[in-house]
Amino acid sequence: MADFIEEARLKGVSRKISPTNPIEGLTSESKLYLMHPKAAVTNASALLTPPDFACPCGHNHRPQDGCIGLGWHIPPNDGGNGRKLAEGKSYQVKTLLEPEPEYALAVFMIAPITALTIIAHPDKDTQDAREKRARQSSLPVFISEE
């Protein structure tokens, strides 16, 4: 979960959607709810507070409050003290939590839906159909070659 948030800080948020998803009702007020199987710590009340713990939202939560900041207290995956992201980027992780955290599925981020981007298709009819469908929403529509 923290990996996704850190990559979103670098690149923003985008999701592929199924061609069967209804998009006609999407507006500038629409939101994308992102969930992760480790977004909630179910035994947060039993965790010791790491000395360097800080709520990333500035709310001064404690780990025992189930703060999302617990996501930054995870084992490193690069043999050192950081987590590797795409394109060689990394971010710092902090002291491991004790006892072992127990996780559950939860919403960890709500992002605005600001536009739709269509990946260009070599077949003009397919491309036109995708663009027509995207324009059924009231969001800006972009075409990308990638």
Domain membership flag for residue 118: no
Residue range of the domain that includes 105: 2-15+33-113
Domain membership flag for residue 27: no
| pTM listed for this prediction | 0.79
Total tally of structural domains belonging to the chain: 1
Domain membership flag for residue 134: no
Confidence (pLDDT) at 143? 94
Q: Exposed, middle or buried, 58 (CB in 10 Å: 0-12/13-18/19+)?
A: exposed
**Could you report the per-residue pLDDT of 74-116, keeping only the tens digit for each?**
655 555 557 778 777 887 777 667 888 888 999 999 999 999 9
Confidence (pLDDT) at 106? 95
What's the mean pLDDT when you consider all of the chain?
A: 86
Q: Using H for helix, E for strand and C for coil, what is the string for 22-46?
A: CCCCCCCCCEEEEEEEEEEECCHHH
Domain membership flag for residue 76: yes
Domain membership flag for residue 127: no
